[in-house]
Structure formats: C-alpha cells, structure tokens
Chains A and B, each alone.
Chain A
Amino acid sequence: MLSKPDEHGKYGIYGGKFAPEVLMTALEELEEAFSRVNSDKSFRSELSSLLSTYAGRPTPLYLANNLSEMSGAKIYLKREDLVHGGAHKLNNTLGQCLLAKHMGKKRIIAETGAGQHGVATAMAAAVLGMDCEVYMGTEDVERQKLNVFRMKLLGAKVNPVDSGSKTLKDAINEAMRDWVANVENTYYLIGSVVGPHPYPLIVREFQRVIGKETKEQILAAEGRLPDVIIACVGGGSNALGIFYEFLEEKEVELKGVEAAGKGLETGDHGASLCAGTEGVLHGMYSKLLQDEHGQIKQSYSFAPGLDYPGVGPELANLAESGRVKMDCVTDTETLSAFAILSKKEGIIPALESAHAVHYAIEEAKRRGKGSLVVVNLSGRGDKDTFIVAEAIGDKN
C-alpha cells in the first residue's frame, strides 16, 4: 500500500492521536477490532452483501454525453448519488455500524454537517438494530431541514448543537464530549476521513469501494484508465474513496476541489488545503483554517458538507507530496454547474459534488476531445433545493 499510516497513525507528518486520555483506550480497542474484522471473511461478506442488496452497489459509471459534448473531453460521473440515502456516506456507515456490532456496542453516535452522514448513520443503525443519536449544528439544522426530518423518520434522535459556529466542527466537538462520557457502551461513528487514528484509516477503507468499482468500470468502458479524476473535498472521504485505488497509477491525475465560498480573498471559504496552515483539531494534525494564535476560524461554504475548517490527514499528506492537486471553486461557479448538470443530464447534484462538476467541465474544456475525465458525483441535490432557491433569489 502506498499510503499506509505508521504505527502512530501518521501519514508523513499528518494524523496521529491527539485525543483526551479518557478515549485513548477506546481508540486502541477500535484499532484492534478494525484490523480483526477487516481481514475476516465473514465480516467482509456480510458487509458486501449489505452494500449490494441494501445500499445498491455497484453504482454506475455514467458517460455524461451532453455534458461531454458541451465541454470537449469525455466526462464520466461515478454515480454515488444513487447509493441508498443519496450519497456515498452509507458505504462508511454500514461498515462502521457492522464493526460496532461486532464490538458489542449498542449505541451509535455521529456528527453531521449537511445531514447526509446523519441520514446514512440513521439508516445503518436502523437496519442493524442499534440506537442512534446524531449531533448537528443549529445552523445546519436550519439549512438542511429535510435531512433532519429524514433522520427522525429513520428513528434517530437529532441533538442540535448551539455552541461555536453552530456547524459541523461544533457537532464533532459535541459528539466527542458525548463519547467521552459514554465510551463504555457507545460507538462514535465519524463520517469523514478525519479525527484521531484509526478513524481516517477506517473511513478510507470503507470508502475505497468507490475507486475499486470506478477502475473496473472505466477499463470496461474505455479500455484504459482516465486522464484525471476529480472529487470535492470537505473532510475528504469521497475524494480519498475514489482516489485511493489510483494512487499508484501515476498517469492518472487526481484533483481535489475545495470550497472557495465567497472567494479565498474574502476569508469566507472552506479551503483548508488551498489556504490553511498546520495544526491540531479534532484529534488530528492536519491543515486547518486558524488565526495566528491557533484559534480555529469559522469556515464558510453554502454547501454544508464542505463547511469545515480542517481536512483528513492522509489527504493533507497526498496534497503535500503533490500526488493529489488541490484547487477550489466558489459558490457562484458551483451554482452554474449545479444548473448545467440538472438541465443537460437530468441529474440534480449535491452542492458539494457540484463543486467537482464545475471543475470537471473546465478541465474537460482545457483537455479537449480524446481525454477522459471522471468526476465523483458524491451525492444528490434534493437536500439543497432550498439553498439554491435562496441563492438564485438573491441574484435576481
């Protein structure tokens, strides 16, 4: 493996376990349990059966003809928006819920930003018969009402978090506080490749399926690997999920797209890799948005899943080594890609994924005919219709 963490859970200088002492034993147990089940045939087959019969995998790799014609290069969409629940998040929550069950835990807690991870956790907990509580910033509760209602329908308890910036980072803080208090019976199901070791590793392993399928599908369709793979980056789970299988295929360029929000120069963005500095947050050493004293800054993006002032340590390491190239896209650019994909292909993308779609269209124009571009369409946009309506309304 090209990007394996060392014994301290570090990827280069990034990662590690900067967690309260109360949690250290639980993290050690989690690491052992994960390495046990990850090589266990019956666990793998149980998970793989859930992924195919419940989650709807494999997801299609769709050649977006109309979009390609408009742009130049061929654009393929990896349709993670078709996973049950409407995003790639379920790949991870099914894996971790099953892991929790194997560890004998009965109660699942999770944080959520856009609500997609919360919904996916609620689904996995429901199907595997576990109790579920989800922490969500009050600002996100407001922006993503539909997902809040879905979580409740799925039997989860949603706990609004009113501290700090009232978004994803504060939901993570609160979930960690819950875990500290209930570590003996509770499993904390982190939704992205962030947090203390072994979470970044666990989440990446459960999301790898995206890239594995993509590789087989593109080879079947085109007889060769793509020239570039593009994914949006908040914490980084859909990006690492699709990139990982291609890390050693040097001819395949890997590009991550962060939220430039209102523009990097305004300070209102979520671009931890493009504009952040090194530090420790949520148990990991990574790239963060912070002031000169180390206080964490409020991130911004109209896509709640990208509204996070940190990023996964493995991705930080891959970006530093140059294997993954990072760029960022503003709210306004995203909005235009959101409209184009909806009208040209009949697919309403999640605002998070629409960042990657915008970048892919530009990339396809630059590269022209004969090139192959793959985009991870990590989620569907039903949840975002109100945000988009408001954004368009503001303009008119």
Chain B
Amino acid sequence: MTLEETFKKLNIRNEKALIGFVTAGYPTADATSEIADALIRGGVDILELGLPFSDPIADGVTIQRASEISLRAGMNTDIYFDVAAGIKGVDKVCLTYYNLVLQRGLEQFVSDCESSGIGGMVLPDLPVEESKPLLKICEGYETDLIFIIAPTTTAKRMAKILDAAAGFIYVVSLLGVTGTRDTVSDTIQPLIKSIREQEVSVGKEVPLAVGFGISQPEHVRTVCAFADGAIVGSAFIKLIEEELDSRNKMLQRIENFTRSLKAGTKIA
C-alpha cells in the first residue's frame, strides 16, 4: 500500500496516522526487529526507521545518543536494509541524512528502499532546491521523497514544496531539533491552516503529519484534531533507554505506550 493510500484508508475509519520513529540498530540490530513488532502490536500505522548518520544536525540529544550507540555497534546501510526488509505488516519510512543516500548511489538507495518495503524517505538536510536528482529517480519507484515544512517556511517555498511532495508532508511543529517537549507548540495550528490554504491554491492535497516534540497521548490528540497524523520519535528512544536491562519489559512498555498514543488518533 502506498503512503497516501494508508492515509486514505485511515480517513475512512475516522482515524489519523500514528507514525512511530525508532533508530535502527539501537540498542542492537536484532532488538530493532522486536521493537518494531511491539510498535506494530500497539497499533502504529507507519514505522519510521532511522538510518543513523554520524552528524545528525536536525536531531536533539536523545536521537544523537541512539545514533552513536547504533553506529558503534556496527549499524550500516547494508544491515539497515536487511533489518527493514524483515519488518512486515506495517508501512515503513526511512529517515536519514542525504550523504548516506549519495554514497550508496541515488538509484541504488531508492531501489533498496522499494525492495525492503520502504514507501518513503525523509531527509532533513535535503531541501526542495537540491532534491531534483533524487525526485527524478523516485518517479520510477514506489518510494516517495517526503518533504518537510517548518514554521519559517514562506508561502512561496510552500508552493514549491507542495508541487514536489508525495506520500505525506512532515510538518515540523517548532523551531528546533527533535526531542520531547512538555506541550505542543501553538504555532502548529496556524501553520497547518496556511499549508491547507496553499494546498487549495496549488490544487494538490497531500496528508500532513506533525513531528518534533510530540511525546504524549495528549499531544497526539491535540495534533490529530487538525492534522492527518502525528510523529513520535524521541519518546520511544527514551523509553528504550530506560529499559535497556530488560528486553521483555521494554517491549511491553513500547506496546502499551504505542496503544495509548494510537488512541489519540481516533476521532470521537
């Protein structure tokens, strides 16, 4: 199923998408498969699997730390695709940085995404201006390039981004890096509104999922009142971090937490 079909299917059920992020290989590569299964049991709609990069400038301390540990334990792009291919029964998205895509070769990377069942790529350091070569390759595959819109994105840039967008749009809820926050930024609602207006004026509708700082069921509920999905990342990493000593307890907590987040995506 393509990402847009997933959003449509959820819409029919009066649900929004819960997108859960974990860093592949944190704490180990086999743990990732079990963690993914726990997320799936908890009801995650889209699994965003991070391919760690040595210099993750868009990430806060939590994901930086997970990336370092994963890389030190031997994670690399080859292993990543093996792990990703083994995770079944959920839509998958790859989050990484552009250099890892470049070094594998654009076409090879996209083709490996497709054959591992990855329906989209989020690349925080690839703005629309630099995205042409990769977009062109994505046309031939069932893997979308997912763009980011931020609170600082101007209307002019929004139009350019919408024109290139597919799958969904990753709406960054605040000025800052990834990481848990206590409350949902109040800039998000007006931002979603202006993206929707821009969608109307360019005549293209792409689902909008909100990420950065979304870490509690209440946040998910708030965001899902006006967006098409919520992305939770650092909160999962923190939970894994807390339970490194007991795999079973970790998996149980992830499943329960996912379930509580998912409840927030259902429209009453």
Chain A residues packing against B (C-beta within 8 Å): 8, 16-26, 163-164, 169-170, 173, 176-177, 180-184, 278-283, 288, 290, 292-296
Question: Chain A contacts of B154 at CB under 8 A?
Answer: 25
Contacts A16-B129, A173-B55 known; 4 new A-B pairs at CB < 8 A: A20-B127, A22-B150, A24-B153, A293-B77
Q: Are B157 and A173 within 8 A (Cβ)?
A: no
Of A163, A293, A296, which one neighbours B76 at CB under 8 angstroms?
A293
- Residue from A21, A177, A295 within 8 A of B57 (CB atoms): A177
Say yes or no: is B201 at the interface (Cβ < 8 Å to chain A). no
30 examples of A-B residue contacts, CB within 8 angstroms = A8-B129, A8-B130, A16-B129, A17-B130, A18-B126, A18-B127, A20-B124, A20-B125, A21-B148, A21-B152, A21-B172, A24-B129, A25-B153, A163-B61, A163-B64, A164-B55, A164-B68, A170-B55, A173-B56, A177-B57, A177-B58, A180-B58, A180-B177, A183-B152, A184-B175, A282-B57, A292-B103, A295-B76, A296-B54, A296-B55
CA distance in complex: A355, B151 (Å): 45
B71-A280 in contact (CB<8A): no
**Distance from A25 Cβ to chain B, minimum over Cβ atoms (Å):** 5
- Find chain A residues with CB under 8 A from B151 CB: 22
CA distance A177 to B130 in the complex (A): 21
CA distance A21 to B175 in the complex (A): 10
With beta carbons under 8 angstroms apart, the residue of A17, A181, A292 that contacts B176 is A181
**Cβ of A170: which chain B residues have Cβ within 8 Å of it?**
55
Q: How many residue pairs bridge A and B at CB < 8 Å?
A: 118
On whether the beta carbons of B102 and A279 are closer than 8 Å, the reply is: yes
Q: Does B248 contact A (CB under 8 A)?
A: no
Interface residues of B in 146-170 (CB under 8 A from A): 147-154, 157, 161
Q: With CB as the reference atom, state the residue of chain A lying closest to B174.
A: A181
Contacts of B129 in A (CB 8 A): 8, 16-17, 24
CB-defined interface of B40-72 with A at 8 Å, one 1/0 digit per residue?
A: 000000000000011111101100100010010
Q: How large is the interface on B (under 10, 10 to 19, 20 to 34, 35 or more residues)?
A: 35 or more
Nearest opposing residue in chain A for B177, CB measure: A177
- With beta carbons under 8 angstroms apart, the residue of B54, B57, B127 that contacts A24 is B127
B11 an interface residue at 8 Å Cβ cutoff? no
CA distance A282 to B55 in the complex (A): 8
With a cutoff of 8 Å between Cβ atoms, the chain A residues found around residue B101 in the complex are 294
Determine whether B88 belongs to the interface, using a CB cutoff of 8 Å to chain A.
Answer: no
Q: How far is the CA of A25 from the CA of B172 in the complex (A)?
A: 14
Knowing A22-B152, A292-B103, the reply to whether A180 touches B176 (Cβ < 8 A) is yes
Separation of A288 and B58 alpha carbons in the complex (Å): 20
Complexed CA–CA distance, A296 and B150 (Å): 27
B76 touches A181 (CB 8 A): no
In the bound assembly, the distance between CA atoms of A296 and B161 in angstroms comes to: 29
Asked whether B14 is an interface residue with its Cβ less than 8 Å from the other chain, the reply is: no
Decide if B130 touches A16 in the complex (CB within 8 Å): yes
A61 to chain B, nearest CB (A): 39
Residue in A21, A184, A281, A294 whose CB lies within 8 Å of B127: A21
Q: How far is the CA of A279 from the CA of B148 in the complex (A)?
A: 22
Residues of B near A169 (CB, < 8 A) are 55
